[in-house]
Amino acid sequence: MDGEKHKELSLDVKVQVLPTNGLRIKLEPTSEQLKLMVKVADIVSIERFVAELEFRRWQKKGVSVKGKVFAQITQQCVITLEPVSSEVNEEIDRIFVPPGSKYLKPTFDDDGELVLDYDGRDEPELYEGTTLDAWEIAMEHFTLGIDPFPRAEGAELEELGLAEEVETEDEKISPFAALKDLYKPK
């Protein structure tokens, strides 16, 4: 979350003893948890939040976590500072494996180059111990889904006189042009 773990936003899932059909968890925060989430996410408010996660055994010792995070939030417009309503709608599809898992080893092609599948599933992530924190996973996806530069409808930089002037190739000014006035030959 923000580098520190908040006990109010923590729910440890014992992944070593998952049911055969998986474990479904629905997270709906209390008013106190919402206040903390607003602080962690650095937004104005959260009107609604729900996360649904399913923990399942993956291969022998790994864990698959699938689900979604949905929230209705209010942020400040980066231009006008007016409230801006938006939604966070993030899908979760992650794999966690314990230390020493063969799935943590990178895959190389015949030329010795690392193979990355940009369209495929993310590589498995390491977990240590016997639990995964459901709230931590949900909060990671929630904060990643928040628009970092929310704008009120119609808000433009020109309104504040901050729009950059567009220069043509011929009009480009050297970054050192201002220094020429400082240099006076003797």
In a domain, 1, yes or no: no
pLDDT digits (tens, 9 = 90+) for 99-156: 888 777 766 778 877 666 666 667 888 889 899 999 999 999 999 999 999 988 877 7
pLDDT digits (tens, 9 = 90+) for 2-19: 445 678 899 999 998 999
Global pTM?
0.75
What CA–CA distance (Å, rounded) separates 148 from 163?
Answer: 19
Give pLDDT, residue 52: 98
Helices (H), 42-171: 134-144
Torsion from C-alpha of 21, 27, 28, 33, nearest 10 degrees: 160
Q: Which residues of 6-30 are buried (b: 16+ CB within 10 A; e: fewer)?
A: beebeeebebeebeeeebebebebe
Between 134 and 158, residue with greater pLDDT: 134
The whole domain housing 78 covers 7-181
Domain count, the chain: 1
In a domain, 186, yes or no: no
In a domain, 88, yes or no: yes
Give pLDDT, residue 87: 96
In a domain, 167, yes or no: yes
Give pLDDT, residue 41: 94
What CA–CA distance (Å, rounded) separates 94 from 112?
Answer: 27
In a domain, 2, yes or no: no
